């Protein structure tokens, strides 16, 4: 009888080892599949970024702005800044530069006036306290980008650049 119980114990041990081995192989296969799939998604994202970088862009200067800021303590506060726009080159002017922009590019006078008006409206609606306590200006840039993009029909505004930013 002893032989049978040690044979049954050996079979049970072999069965446990087989189940563990199958679990390890399946787990490893699942891990490898998820890594390969994640790599494909990352490659797709890199291709999309590369395609966006291939778009010819221009950097357009809006110039200098001096605007009053809202202040909670009724103190006169102001912002002096210079703003540039990175825009997708219009179809009719696709001979413009790539990535860095066409140095001589300018908005048509009407577009320049609309863009400056929108920038003044957005900048002057800002709170001195908020700008002072939040050094990350990405939200302000995004708000300006969206609003100016809506105002300019022939241009796609891709980024807003502050080339100077002084508050007092």
Number of domains making up the chain = 2
On whether both 46 and 107 belong to a single domain, the answer is: no
Closest residue by Cα to residue 65 from 114, 116, 28: 116
Residue after which a domain boundary falls, among 10, 32, 54: 54
On whether both 145 and 104 belong to a single domain, the answer is: yes
Query: Which pTM does this prediction carry?
Result: 0.61
d(CA 4, CA 156) in angstroms, rounded, equals 81
122: how many CB neighbours lie within 10 A of its CB? 18
**Tokens 């796609």, located at residue:** 156
d(CA 142, CA 129) in angstroms, rounded, equals 19
Q: Which domain holds residue 32?
A: 1-54
- CATH code of the domain covering residue 108: 3.30.479.30
Q: HSE of 54 in the Cβ direction (CA atoms, 13 Å)?
A: 6
Pick the residue with more confidence: 8 or 162? Answer: 162
Q: Which tens digit of pLDDT belongs to each residue from 77-134?
A: 999 999 999 999 766 544 444 445 555 578 888 889 999 999 999 999 999 999 998 8
Strand residue runs (E) in the chain:
57-69, 77-88, 156-167
């Amino acid at each position: 009888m002893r032989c049978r119980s040690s044979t049954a114990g050996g079979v049970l041990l072999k069965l446990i080892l087989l189940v563990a081995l199958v679990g390890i192989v399946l787990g490893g296969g699942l891990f490898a599949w998820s890594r390969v799939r994640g790599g494909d998604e990352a490659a797709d994202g890199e291709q999309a970024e590369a395609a966006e970088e291939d778009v010819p862009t221009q950097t357009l200067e809006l110039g200098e702005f001096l605007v009053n800021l809202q202040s909670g303590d009724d103190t006169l506060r102001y912002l002096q800044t210079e703003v540039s726009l990175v825009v997708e080159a219009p179809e009719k002017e696709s001979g413009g530069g790539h990535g860095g922009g066409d140095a001589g590019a300018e908005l048509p006078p009407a577009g320049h006036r609309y863009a400056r008006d929108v920038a003044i409206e957005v900048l002057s609606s800002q709170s001195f306290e908020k700008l002072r306590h939040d050094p990350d200006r990405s939200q302000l840039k995004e708000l300006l980008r969206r609003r100016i993009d809506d105002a300019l029909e022939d241009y796609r505004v891709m980024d807003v650049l502050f080339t100077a930013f002084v508050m007092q």
